[in-house]
Amino acid sequence: MTAIQHPGLKSAREFGVGLSVAQMRRRFRSHAEAQLYDESGVPPEGFAIYTLADPRDIRDVRYVGQTSVPRRRFRQHLNYARLWLPDDLPWWVKQPTLRPLYTWIRELYRDEGRLPVMVVVAWATSVAEARVTERARIFEYLGRRRSLLNVETEILRGQVPLR
């Protein structure tokens, strides 16, 4: 899988120069259409359990989440990173525990304009089932020694059995 290429641009900083917020949001919509995959193997119904990963290695999961509308949630993640702002630290993220996710998205973008890939890994029929499934996936990826950026990571890390 390759990242979206933009002819004539040498770096993410160059890509962001001169683009309006509206232009960036159009790019996010296009990216969410092209880089959202459903690998669950079941019909989409209820709540999606999804992962976010670097497009260079989608197996290296960095975040696990849940949503009833995956494409909209993917765009929300991209928009909330506010890639049009020059600051490295996402100061607008009020909860410090959420900053690592948006810092990671900004770092990806600075590296040749890359944006994360979203992969739906499961569907759940209720909010309770979605929460249990999401938590199980977080445990699974922590067990595989993935560097997750989820808020729950520090809490759950102590509960994951070492292999």
Tens digit of each residue's pLDDT (9 = 90 or more) over 49-69: 999 999 999 999 999 999 999
Answer yes or no: are the C-beta atoms of 49 and 120 closer than 8 Å.
yes
* Residue 18: band (very low, low, confident or very high) from pLDDT cuts 50, 70, 90: low
Q: pLDDT value at position 1?
A: 36
Asked if 65 contacts 5 with a C-beta cutoff of 8 angstroms, the reply is no
Reported as a pLDDT band with limits 50, 70 and 90, residue 156 is low
Band the pLDDT of 74: cuts 50, 70, 90: very high
pTM confidence score: 0.83
The average confidence (pLDDT) of the chain is 85
Residues 83/102, Cβ–Cβ less than 8 Å:
no
Give the pLDDT of residue 160. 53
Q: How many CB atoms lie within 10 A of CB 3?
A: 17
Structural contact between residues 53 and 116, judged by C-beta atoms closer than 8 angstroms: yes
Is 60 exceeded by the pLDDT of residue 79? yes
Contact 82, 92 (CB under 8 A): yes
Contact (CB, 8 A) for 118 and 37: yes
